[in-house]
Structures are given as structure tokens and as C-alpha cells.
Amino acid sequence: MSLLEQRYRSVLRLLPASYRAEREEEMVDAFMELSGEVPDEANPRPRWGEIASVLSLSMRVRLGGAGASPRFVAWGEAVRLVALLGLGHQAVGSVIELLNWGHALAFGTHVAWTGPPGSLERLVSIAVSAAALCSAVAFVAIMRGHVRTAKITALIGVAPPLAYTVIPMLLVERPLSELATLVLTVAPVIALLMGFHSDVTPRRRSWTVTLSPAAVGLAVLGGTWLVVAVRPYDQDWPYLWLGFGTTILVWAAGAVVVLARRSSPSWALAMTATGLLLLAVRLPLLDNLPEGASWTMVCAQCAVLWVLSTALAWVGARGLPRASVAAAAETGPILREG
């Protein structure tokens, strides 16, 4: 075995064992044919482009690409579901912000934009707010099967919070809660970029499901206005169920449904990931609240997130197909996202 062939085989170890068992010899032969006869004295190495292609293939196979084992297919579906759930959550926030804009313009109330009218600061503030609406566009695009549009608009939507959080963190120490919130915002976009790769054809979903964040946004905003109108100033804990608290409530209801229906392991694992992200955002609030009803309510929310996430992780892990180092059966050149 030549030195170059040894190095090619070392690079191919980036691929899952089941995939290598089926394709390694074929891939080594192809690489060696392209490279030609190179003596060991020349210290030959695989080209960077070839290494990058193997890395890309490894990611696609591990996320349900062509030739992936059933276990990797399930993991790929879970990653794509994290993208859909996260973008759906962001879309609801975009709808609420858009409705608040409409309310402000209709009734002449104040819009939370910085800087005086006509200034560059005000223009930047409006641009940042408009970019946040791209999350809703990304959700609609991916639900209708337009992957490229979804990825572009999702990146635009996440750019402002990424810049406004990371840059201050590099200059001064920031609360841990801000980092957790940033991870909650960025994680669905990363899942979108990785999960919806070239080997996957996303399902084209109905407009009823696609536009559901608009209905949820209306319901959440209506509930918020109702609580504010009632004005339970003698109790602070009801406000903990507004905004992010509503997200926890909806997630918990979805988790119970997934557990009760014994859904696919992909759904259980995706709900586990989103639940832990929500827990990471909520947990730091305990340090900022005095002991009392509000502190107890946050403890209860964290406990619900932890218990349900643990149960979902157990169900998801048990439901995964068994890993095998044997050659995986071909799943076809194109997999449909489940």
C-alpha cells in the first residue's frame, strides 16, 4: 500500500463505519486514479478540496444523506425538525412584532425604535427590526420546500442579534442569559443549514400548517393584552407565562403529545433539543428573582422542561434503530424529509 493510499484511507475514516464498509474501496480507487502514480519520496498528500468533499459527504451521511443507515436517517430528521420548530418559534415572534407595528401605526402609539426620526440611528434600528421579519419568511419558505430562499432569509434574520450579542460580549462581560438566548436563536439556523442538504428533498406542507405561526401570534398577543387589561399588579407570577412563558407552555403540551402518541424517535429527539434550549434560557432567571411566588413559578417551569426533556430523550434513544458496522442498505439518491 502506497503512502498516498494510506493517507486517503485515513481521510475516509471521517465517514461512518457502515458507509465505509460499502464504499471505501470504490472511493480509494477513484482518488488514486485521479492522483496518478506518485512516489512515496514525494511525500504526497490528499488535496484540500478532496478532504473538504469527504467532510461534506460525512455530514450529509450522518444527517440522512444517500447511503445512510436508518439510524443516521432518524438523526437527520431530528435535526430538520429542530430547524422547523425553532424557525416556527421565531416566526411567531416576527408576527407579534409586525402586529405591534400595525397597532402603533393605527393608534399613533410609540414604536420602540432608537434615534430621532430621520437619523442614521433610526434607519439602522428600522433595518434591524425589518431583518427580524426574515425569520417568518424563512419559515414559510422551508415549509413550502424552498430551501435556498429559507437559508438566505434565515441568515439575514439571525445576523442582527448575532452582531448585537457577540460584539458586546467580546468587549465586556455579559450575563449568561444573553448567551443562552443567542444559542436559542442561532441553533435553528444551523440546523437548517446542516439538515437540509443536497441529498434531502423537503416535504411541501400545506398553507394551513405553514401560516399557523400567524394564528399563534394573534392568540399570544391577544392573551398578553388580556392579562395587561386585567392588571393583576398584586401578583407578578402571571406575567411569567407571557412571551417566553407561553413558549414553554406550548412546548410542554407538544412534549406530552409526542410522549403519549409514541411518535418517531426523531420527534422525541427534536423536542428534547428544543426543550433543553428553552431550559438554558429560563434557568438564569432564578438568580435575578427574590424568593417568593415568582421564583417558585420559574422553578416549576424549569422542572417541567427538565422532566419532559429527560423523558423525551429516553424515548428517542430507545426508538433509534440499532447502530451497525455492516454495510447499510441503499436508501436511494434522494431521501424525503419526514
Give me the pLDDT at residue 109, please: 64
In the structure grid, which three cell numbers stand for residue 279, read together? 431550559
Q: How many CB atoms lie within 10 A of CB 140?
A: 21
Would the pLDDT of 51 be above 80?
yes
Q: Three-state SS for 51?
A: helix
Distances (CA, A) of 30 to 23, 36, 86, 172, 279: 11, 10, 40, 52, 48
Give me the pLDDT at residue 335, please: 36
Distances (CA, A) of 18 to 59, 60, 152, 318: 14, 14, 33, 20
pLDDT tens for residues 128-187? 777 778 889 999 999 999 999 999 999 998 888 787 777 766 666 666 777 888 889 999
Would the pLDDT of 251 be above 80?
yes
pLDDT tens for residues 76-106? 999 999 999 999 999 888 888 787 777 676 7
Average pLDDT of the residues of the chain: 83
Mean pLDDT, rounded, for 292-302:
88
- The C-alpha atoms of residue 53 and residue 297 are separated, in whole angstroms, by 50
Give me the pLDDT at residue 323, please: 66
Q: How confident is the model at residue 231 (pLDDT cuts 50, 70, 90)?
A: low
The answer to whether the beta carbons of residues 255 and 307 sit under 8 Å apart is: no
Give me the pLDDT at residue 274, please: 96
Would the pLDDT of 246 be above 90?
no
Q: How confident is the model at residue 120 (pLDDT cuts 50, 70, 90)?
A: low
Q: Which residue has the higher pLDDT, 227 or 22?
A: 22
Give me the pLDDT at residue 337, please: 40
Give me the pLDDT at residue 162, please: 80
Q: How far does the chain reach from its first CA to its final CA, in angstroms?
A: 43
Phi-psi region of 235 (alpha: psi -120 to 50; beta: other; left: phi over 0): beta
Looking at the DSSP bridge assignments, the partners of residue 200 are 335
Structure pTM?
0.84
pLDDT above 90: percentage of residues in the chain: 37
Type and span of the H or E element at 171? helix 147-171
Mean pLDDT, rounded, for 46-66:
90
The answer to whether the beta carbons of residues 138 and 150 sit under 8 Å apart is: yes
Would the pLDDT of 189 be above 70?
yes
Give me the pLDDT at residue 299, please: 92
Q: How confident is the model at residue 328 (pLDDT cuts 50, 70, 90)?
A: very low
